[in-house]
Amino acid sequence: MQQANIKQKEIAVRFYENAKFGTTYAKGKRHSAVFNAAADIRSPNAKYLLDFYTFDYWQHTARTDGDMEVLEVVSERASEDVLVSWVVKQDPITKDKQRVTGFCLLDMATQICTLLINDENTGVQQAWELPAKQCKQVIGKNSPLLLATNADLGDW
């Protein structure tokens, strides 16, 4: 119950349809991410990138012992309606990308986004469970398909 007393960091997760989904980029290689997303945290200012795959595809991308521990936790919640992503931190200046401990689940049946980030470098160690709502599509503009947030984005 101690977790309930900790104020959640403000976050906005924007989900974009992957326009390259299903296309090839090399012999025998296909773009397999259904959605791409960006998770922006307000304080500390941090940006995380997410690529959502089916669980069956995602589970085979685990690389480390830590990934295997995350895989064990996520497998309990996996279903055909759940898309899963690793968490990649993007440096705002250099645009370098580095995997951090964590995962994100998007349940397409309930439209609930569950995100866990454990980034010791920025001090972000938190979990969120947010409803993802459909966004209004604007023709000719790269607008997100879904948005999950716990903040008022008007003053961001």
Question: Is residue 80 included in any domain, yes or no?
Answer: yes
Q: How many domains is the chain partitioned into structurally?
A: 1
**Residue 102 maps to a domain:** yes
Is 1 inside a domain boundary? no
Task: Report residues of the chain scoring pLDDT below 50.
Answer: 1-3
Q: Range of 113's domain?
A: 13-151
pLDDT of residue 6: 62
Residue 110 lies in a domain: yes
Beta bridge partners of 149: 12
Angle at 36 between CA 32 and CA 42, to 5 degrees: 155
Q: What is the pLDDT of residue 156?
A: 66
Q: How far apart are CA 31 and CA 24, in angstroms?
A: 6
**Residue-level pLDDT at 143:** 84
Report how far apart, in Å, the C-alpha atoms of 13 and of each of 25, 27, 54, 69, 121 are: 27, 33, 19, 24, 20
DSSP designation for 154: G
- What pLDDT sits at residue 92? 85
Residue 40 lies in a domain: yes
The closest alpha carbon to 73, from 58, 90, 51, belongs to 58
pTM listed for this prediction: 0.87
Structural domain contains residue 108: yes
77 located within any domain: yes
Predicted confidence at residue 2, as pLDDT, reads 42
